[in-house]
Amino acid sequence: MKKFGLILMVLIVSLALATISPFAMAEEEQVLLKIPVAFPTSLPSIGTALPWFAKNVEAASGGSIKCIIYEPGKLVPPFEIHDAVSTGKVNAGYTVTGYAAGKVPSADLFTAAPFGPGPLAYLAWFYEGNGRALFQEAFDKAGYNFKVFPFAFIGPETGGWFTKPIEEPKDLKGLRIRFFGLGGKVMQKVGASVSLIPGGEIFPALEKRAIEGTEFSQPAIDAKLGFSKVCKYNYFPGWHQPASQCELIINKDTWNSMSPRQQAIIELAVRAANSYTLANSEAIQGKIIKENAKKHRVHNLYWSGKMLEALKKAWLEVAKEMSAKDPMFKKTWDDLQAFMVEHDYWEAFGYLPRPPRPKK
């Protein structure tokens, strides 16, 4: 019955949008969204999400909303997208929340939480918990002038690519590694030398041995960046990002200029894009992991219990320190933990145990 209710709701909304007076539609001003992106659109899931969204928004709006997508660095450098959209240099952007963490310390929690929720629970926190309201509040308090949408949810990333085995916490001490967000702070806590560089610069850094390891995203996305050519040890699970999402941001002046119909189309298309990336990303990882092992001689390895215990201990220390420094981080982290207490109880009863891991 719940599925039937959901389908019925979608049909009602779709019919309502479709039956709006042609005169009302004619009165709408056309909106052109110029959208610089932080990731190449050639990447699976997180890359293809925006073209998928743009195509469907244009079709659903009858052409009253059009999107022009600019590949990384073509219009705005990836790390400058937040400021560019806020100031009106461009009216929209597709990026990752953690790139604003320098000004918004809580931002990383809206990208992923180490040892935190999986993709369904994360999605639930955003849309049925307080996640989305806190998401907007964090940027509003930091003075940003844009509306933020959770966008492009995917499942767990790999736990990292390394040029040598990592068997003990001591193996991370002094290790030069590219690691994102809160996971990067954890790696620093356990002694690694961490840098954050854009995706397109990671492979050259590995090739030149400027770094000895990296994480970026899921196996199918990492494959496009060629990590398996240099790093032969790929660890799982992605404890630092058991679920991830990016974000679509639209300048508030542009958003407020849209008609209610146009705003509704954007809202619905964002939710549809999240469904697209969840399904697409889950469908394509297994084949890549097998290819990495058979074709590229990559060792697919699972973090030892000792390693995961050390990393989780370090994460809880990081979370405590950041909560003490930033009230918004504390507010968000406390809310997410409270949500997960209820969800974990459900998950413990509701879900089957997963199959045993393959030996290789």
- Domain extents in the chain: 29-155+244-282, 160-241+285-350
β 92-95/244-251 pair status: antiparallel
* Element at 251 (helix H, strand E): strand 244-251
| Residue in the structure block whose two tokens are 């960046």 | 225
Amino acid 112: pLDDT? 96
Q: Which two tokens stand for residue 120?
A: 């369904």
Domain pair 29-155+244-282 / 160-241+285-350, same fold: yes
Q: What whole-number distance in Å separates Cα of residue 108 and Cα of residue 125?
A: 15
Whether this model's pTM surpasses 0.85: yes
| Residue in the structure block whose two tokens are 């969840």 | 278
- State the fold for domain 29-155+244-282: D-Maltodextrin-Binding Protein; domain 2 (3.40.190)
- Find, among 13, 44, 5, 4, the residue nearest to 217 by Cα: 44
State the sign of the Cα–Cα–Cα–Cα dihedral 282, 286, 287, 288.
Answer: positive
Q: Which two tokens stand for residue 55?
A: 């195509």
Q: Which two tokens stand for residue 77?
A: 């450098």
- The residue type of 241 is Q
Domain 160-241+285-350 CATH class label? alpha beta
Amino acid 360: pLDDT? 56
State the sign of the Cα–Cα–Cα–Cα dihedral 50, 197, 183, 297.
Answer: positive
Q: What whole-number distance in Å separates Cα of residue 46 and Cα of residue 246?
A: 8
Contact status, residue 218 vs residue 154, Cβ threshold 8 Å: yes
Amino acid 359: pLDDT? 67
- Find, among 177, 149, 136, the residue nearest to 33 by Cα: 149
Over the chain (360 residues), the average pLDDT of each successive run of 10 is 40 46 66 96 96 98 98 94 98 94 94 96 98 98 98 96 96 96 96 90 95 96 95 97 97 98 98 97 96 96 96 98 98 98 94 78
- Find, among 188, 110, 117, the residue nearest to 148 by Cα: 110
Amino acid 358: pLDDT? 75
Phi then psi for 247, rounded to 5 degrees? Answer: -160, 145
Residue-wise pLDDT for 157-174, tens only, equals: 999 999 999 999 999 999
- Find, among 314, 313, 354, 320, the residue nearest to 337 by Cα: 320
Phi then psi for 299, rounded to 5 degrees? Answer: -90, 110
Amino acid 199: pLDDT? 83
- The residue type of 283 is A
Q: What whole-number distance in Å separates Cα of residue 196 and Cα of residue 181?
A: 8
Amino acid 25: pLDDT? 55
Can you say how many angstroms the Cα of residue 77 is from the centroid of all Cα atoms in its chain? 18
Can you say how many angstroms the Cα of residue 36 is from the centroid of all Cα atoms in its chain? 16
Phi then psi for 202, rounded to 5 degrees? Answer: -70, -50
Contact status, residue 70 vs residue 37, Cβ threshold 8 Å: yes
Amino acid 26: pLDDT? 56
Number of residues that make up the chain: 360
| Residue in the structure block whose two tokens are 């100031």 | 87
Amino acid 2: pLDDT? 38
Residue-wise pLDDT for 276-293, tens only, equals: 999 999 999 999 999 999
State the sign of the Cα–Cα–Cα–Cα dihedral 174, 180, 184, 185.
Answer: positive
